[in-house]
Amino acid sequence: MPSIRPISDLRNSANEISDFCRQTREPVFITRNGTGDMVVMNLEEYERQMALIDLYGKLAVAEQQIADGAEGKDFSSVAKQMRERIHGSV
């Protein structure tokens, strides 16, 4: 169940809201005059969400390229190339 708090709690209970977000990794929905206004979330969780959105965008581009007939590469050869770049020739 989502945590919904009035905007006055940001002033009066900011540390409590911060602890809740950090411990549960869940956002807190803030209302203003009884209407949804903003979301507060832990920074690590926000960064994780942004990374997922970026990954999904890249996957969508790759899927479109495949649908358009682009040639894919074999995972084993790509992984080998990456290892060689990092560790030198294997």
CATH number at residue 25: 3.40.1620.10
The per-residue pLDDT for 29 is: 98
Does residue 82 share a domain with residue 50?
yes
Contact 83, 90 (CB under 8 A): yes
**From CA 74, how far away is CA 90, in angstroms rounded?**
18
Does residue 32 share a domain with residue 52?
no
Number of domains present in the structure of the chain:
2
- Domain hosting 75: range is 45-87
Does residue 64 share a domain with residue 50?
yes
pLDDT in tens, 16-72: 999 999 999 999 999 999 999 999 999 999 999 999 999 999 999 999 999 999 988
Does residue 65 share a domain with residue 36?
no
The per-residue pLDDT for 89 is: 63
Does residue 70 share a domain with residue 49?
yes
Average pLDDT over residues 76-90: 86
Q: Dump the DSSP string for the chain.
A: --EEEETHHHHHSHHHHHHHHHHH---EEEEETTEEEEEE--HHHHHHHHHHHHHHHHHHHHHHHHHTTPPP--HHHHHHHHHHHHH---
Does residue 65 share a domain with residue 80?
yes
